[in-house]
Amino acid sequence: MAHEHMADLLDLDAEVLGEYHREVAGWVSANLTERARVIDVGAGTGTGTLALARQLPDAEVVALDVDGEMLKRIQDKARASGLADRIRTVQADLDQAWPDGLKAADLVWAANSMHHMGDPARAVAQIYQMLRPGGLLAVTELESFPRFLTDPAGAALEERIHTAMARGRDEAGMHMHEDWPARFAEAGFAVESERRFAIALRPPPDSPAAAAVTRYAMVTLSRARHGLEDKLSAGDIADLDALATTLPARNDLTVRTSRTVWLARKPAG
Ligand SMILES: C[S@@+](CC[C@H](N)C(=O)[O-])C[C@H]1O[C@@H](n2cnc3c(N)ncnc32)[C@H](O)[C@@H]1O
């Protein structure tokens, strides 16, 4: 169930932030040839895998993830999009041995996955090994899940949820405060660029995009409701229960989130 929620959340992120995902994939792909060999580290439900396969018409993309259900969603999407011949999935726990045989990649892409790695420095060093000389690493990290509510009470509730979530991530040992450019440089990469994308989206009321934003808000707040039961007050839980009923009728939801993307290159010679 928890997995389903995360997979649904990732698919909604891909749908609602489609323009952002295409922009980043286009920007990164501009550094590559169409026949690039790409590895998506912590690929989830394949947002990056599919976006890169579409941007680079002859690229081969390998999606790595520990979670077989996520990889199955990628396989289904690859088949449905006619991309199955260029997308391969490999199940691996990257806190253990990294898969053999993935060598000489032109691009390693890791979106919102590096903070999950038990040992970030080791993960960056493994990625360095998988790239060809001159190959590119593109890492995206986010500060937190998106916010949706703009009314003062709703915004304050989301603020408390985000504080509790951040505490939970720290307690779980996730690396949300890592100095990524320092990790890249230590591994031997030259950091070429850093871009922060600040996203604020309020689709027209009653549009399909607005319906997707509502679903994204419902899944996000439901996850908070069930995952933070012991970290939020009874009043906040009651407010979240009420929102589960009232959200579908609201037309003031605004998605706010920010992502930072770094490009780092393995030296050519
Ligand atoms: C927040 S999701 C991001 C998914 C995708 N990159 C995206 O941008 O939508 C993080 C992903 O990292 C995967 N992951 C976490 N720890 C992992 C590990 N030790 N080895 C492999 N994958 C891992 C999770 O299963 C999940 O699919």
Query: How far apart are the CA of 70 and the centre of ligand 1, in A?
Result: 9
The residue ranges of the chain whose pLDDT is under 70 are 1-4
Q: Tokens 């605004």: give the residue.
A: 254
Pocket test for ligand 1, best of 73, 107, 116, 142 (most atoms within 8 A of CB): 116
Give the pLDDT score at 265.
Answer: 97
**Structure tokens, 38:** 């790409």
Residue 1 confidence (pLDDT): 43
CA of 246 to the centre of ligand 1 (A): 32
Q: Residue whose CA is closest, atom 12 of ligand 1?
A: 42
CA atoms within 13 A on the CB side of 265: 10
Q: How many A from CA of 222 to the centre of ligand 1?
A: 20
> So what's the pLDDT on residue 3?
57
Fold category of 2-265 in CATH: Rossmann fold (3.40.50)
Closest residue to atom 16 of ligand 1, CA basis: 116
What pLDDT sits at residue 136?
97
Nearest ligand 1 atom to the CA of 93 is 20
So where are the chain's domains?
A: 2-265
The pLDDT tens digits for 225-246 are: 988 988 999 999 999 999 999 9
Q: Which of 17, 65, 137, 165 to mutate to test the pocket of ligand 1 (most atoms within 8 A of CB)?
A: 65
For ligand 1, whether the C-beta of 116 sits within 6 Å is yes
Residues β-bridged to residue 86? none
Which pLDDT score, from 0 to 100, does residue 229 have?
87
**Distance (Å) from CA 65 to ligand 1 centroid:** 6
List the one residue out of 248, 159, 214, 222 whose CA is nearest residue 16: 214
> Distance (Å, rounded) from C-alpha 234 to C-alpha 148?
21
CA–CA gap between residue 30 and residue 14 (Å, rounded): 21
CA distance 244 to 41: 34
Instruction: Compute CA 220 distance to the chain's CA centroid, rounded to the nearest angstrom.
Output: 14
